[in-house]
């Protein structure tokens, strides 16, 4: 038990040190000094999607009935819950931590080891997923440079550190090696299900845009900002609201 | 996070504020400020029209035509198109701009109209409206069958002289920003030639 906290503390310090190295970005612009490298990995990811992930997700969606897919995705979400709870604690958000705790408790029992999600369905305890990337943000760590990782896809320096810490310290993986394997294995059908359910959206960004790299980067950065700001109840989740919308009209009506 | 300020006595603040309002009123007269309710009223109408089209069961081509009508009626197409085109809009001729705006409105309706089909059987529920900076944000939740609800926002402005929307955000992702990137990339592909871009847009799915 002691060891786990020590491990977590070390990871946290390391993570802060790394994310402190990042260069501040211009408001609204994406900081992407590794663009050429990122584009190589984007080409790889796009190829992997075309030949492997997309066909697999289509086959999965076509052969496995929706309730079964949903249950498998529920298991993955359920095993992810302790990690969310731990990070809510680290972010100092006691209410969300309790929320995650009750979700885990209810879904472990009434939800038959996470196969079902009665916490969200009957009790309105919707999933509040979070991870160490969010914790770093809450602690004031900067976003850092944009990264596109092979297989893992779009990220930032901060989120990459978060991902490593999440994988290394996931509380559920410390229960037993079987649970750790189940946790890793459960992410595969869950990911395929997301790829299947949002097939049109993903296809449109990845395969139908003129510059899919730039489009994916933009979507990721905006969606991360949205989710992080959403956790602040005083904010509705959009940054830089004014700039772009002002610009539009300044160009059209010079008198302003 | 709310910070409490202890500066300036109320009278001075009120005077400053009154002066500011007066200045604003003079500059933008005779138009008055758009209210949250007016912004919300517009988006209620947009959402009603979208529901009507997606649940009508009409063939896709007809539905896409209907979506274009919704877009032209309720969105500030000129402002959106101009912003999507970016800096080249400043050097384009009025004829090119008109041609681009037309091509863009067809392209947008086809592209997003197809995506709205995913909404079939779902409902978009307008939740609230509030002023943010110089625009209004009208928030809504899209509840689609068997999926997690999606957060939507419509950005509404009356700076064109009419109350119109200028952006739609889904889970924080801006249509306007996406299209600025997309149109920029398409224009690059056409060697920066606006006429060729117009032709390409007209020929796109």
A223 → closest Cβ in B139, B172, B184? B172
The C-alpha atoms of residue A187 and residue A198 are separated, in whole angstroms, by: 16
From CA B89, how far away is CA A120, in angstroms rounded? Answer: 48
Tokens of A223: 């969606």
pLDDT higher than 90, residue B15: no
Between CA B69 and CA B11 the distance in angstroms is 50
pLDDT at site B133: 81
- pLDDT surpasses 50 at A24: no
* Strands A146-149 and A153-156, sheet pairing: antiparallel
pLDDT digits (tens, 9 = 90+) for A141-184: 999 999 999 999 999 999 999 999 998 888 888 888 888 888 88
The share of chain A scoring above pLDDT 70, in percent, equals 82
CB pairs under 8 A between A and B: 107
> Worst-scoring range by mean pLDDT, A106-115, A144-153, A203-212, B15-24?
B15-24
Give A-chain residues touching B90 at CB under 8 angstroms.
251
B157: nearest CA partner in chain A: A245
- Return the half-sphere exposure (C-beta side, CA atoms, 13 A cut-off) of residue B135: 26
Selecting from A227, A234, A245 the residue whose C-beta is nearest the C-beta of B134 gives A245
B30 upstream amide cis, omega within 30 of 0: yes
pLDDT greater than 90 at residue B154: yes
What pTM does this model have? 0.82
**Residue B8: its pLDDT value, please?**
46
Tokens encoding A59: 């086959």
DSSP state of B75: B
Contacts of B89 in chain A (CB under 8 A): 251
| Interchain contact, B172 vs A236, CB within 8 Å | no
The predicted structure's pLDDT at residue A173 = 82
Contacts of B146 in chain A (CB under 8 A): 66, 70
Predicted local confidence at residue B102, as pLDDT? 94
Least confident of A48-57, B12-21, B100-109: B12-21
Q: Which residue of A has its CA nearest to B84?
A: A248
pLDDT digits (tens, 9 = 90+) for A55-99: 999 999 999 999 999 999 999 999 999 999 999 999 999 999 999
Residue B122's pLDDT is 85
**Is a pLDDT exceeding 90 seen at residue B24?**
no
Q: Are B180 and A211 in contact (CB under 8 A)?
A: no
A9-18, A110-119, B36-45, B109-118: least confident range: A9-18
The answer to whether the Cβ–Cβ distance between B118 and A200 falls below 8 Å is yes
B135 contacts B11 by C-beta, under 8 angstroms = no
Q: Which of A128, A129, A241 to mutate to test the interface with B (most CBs of B within 10 A)?
A: A241
Q: Which among B181, B132, B174 is positioned nearest to B151, based on CA atoms? A: B174
Chain B within 8 Å of A250 (Cβ-Cβ)? Answer: no
CA B202 to chain centre: 21
Q: Taking a contact as any Cβ pair under 8 Å apart, which residues of chain B between 85 and 114 contact chain A?
A: 89-90, 111, 114
What's the rounded mean pLDDT across residues B53-74?
88
Do the beta carbons of residue A80 and residue A187 sit within 8 Å?
no
In eight-state DSSP terms, residue B4 is P
Q: Does B190 touch chain A (CB under 8 A)?
A: no
pLDDT exceeds 70 at position B111: yes
Interfacial A residues in 119-158 facing B (CB < 8 Å): none
Say what the pLDDT of residue B40 is: 93
């Amino acid at each position: 038990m002691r060891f786990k906290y020590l491990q977590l503390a070390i990871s946290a310090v390391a993570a802060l040190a790394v994310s402190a190295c990042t260069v501040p970005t211009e408001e609204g612009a994406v900081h992407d000094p590794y663009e050429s490298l990122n584009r190589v990995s984007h080409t790889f990811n796009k190829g992997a999607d075309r030949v492997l992930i997309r066909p697999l997700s289509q086959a999965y969606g076509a052969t496995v009935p929706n309730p079964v897919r949903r249950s498998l995705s529920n298991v993955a979400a359920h095993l992810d819950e302790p990690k969310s709870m731990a990070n809510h604690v680290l972010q100092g958000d006691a209410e969300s931590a309790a929320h995650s705790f009750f979700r885990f408790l209810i879904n472990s029992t009434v939800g038959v080891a996470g196969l079902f999600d009665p916490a969200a369905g009957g009790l309105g305890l919707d999933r509040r997923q979070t991870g160490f990337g969010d914790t770093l943000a809450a602690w004031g760590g900067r976003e850092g440079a944009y990264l596109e990782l092979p297989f893992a896809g779009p990220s930032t320096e901060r989120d990459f550190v978060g991902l490593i810490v999440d994988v290394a310290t996931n509380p559920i993986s410390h229960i037993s090696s079987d649970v750790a394997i189940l946790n890793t294995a459960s992410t595969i059908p869950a990911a395929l299900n997301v790829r299947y359910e949002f097939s049109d959206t993903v296809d449109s960004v990845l395969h139908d845009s003129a510059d899919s790299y730039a489009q994916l980067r933009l979507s990721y950065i905006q969606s991360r900002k949205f989710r992080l700001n959403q956790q602040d109840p005083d904010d509705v989740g959009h940054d830089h609201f004014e700039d772009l919308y002002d610009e539009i009209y300044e160009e059209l009506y010079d008198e302003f | 996070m709310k910070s409490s300020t202890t500066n300036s006595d109320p009278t001075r603040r009120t005077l400053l504020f009154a002066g500011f309002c007066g200045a604003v009123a003079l500059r933008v007269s005779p138009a008055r400020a758009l209210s949250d309710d007016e912004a919300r009223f517009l988006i209620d109408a947009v959402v009603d029209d979208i529901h009507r089209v997606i649940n009508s069961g009409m063939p896709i081509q007809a539905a896409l035509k209907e979506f274009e009508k919704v877009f032209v009626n309720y969105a500030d197409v000129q402002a959106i198109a101009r912003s999507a085109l970016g800096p080249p809009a400043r050097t384009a001729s009025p004829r090119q701009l008109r041609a681009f705006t037309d091509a863009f409105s067809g392209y947008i309706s086809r592209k997003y109209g197809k995506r709205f089909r995913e909404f079939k059987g779902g409902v978009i529920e307008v939740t609230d409206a509030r002023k943010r900076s110089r625009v209004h944000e009208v928030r809504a939740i899209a509840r689609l069958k068997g999926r997690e609800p999606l957060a939507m926002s419509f950005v509404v402005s009356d700076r064109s002289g009419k109350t119109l929307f200028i952006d739609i955000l889904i889970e924080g992702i801006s249509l306007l920003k996406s299209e600025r990137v997309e149109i920029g990339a398409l224009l690059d592909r056409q060697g920066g030639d606006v006429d060729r871009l117009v032709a390409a847009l007209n020929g796109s799915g």
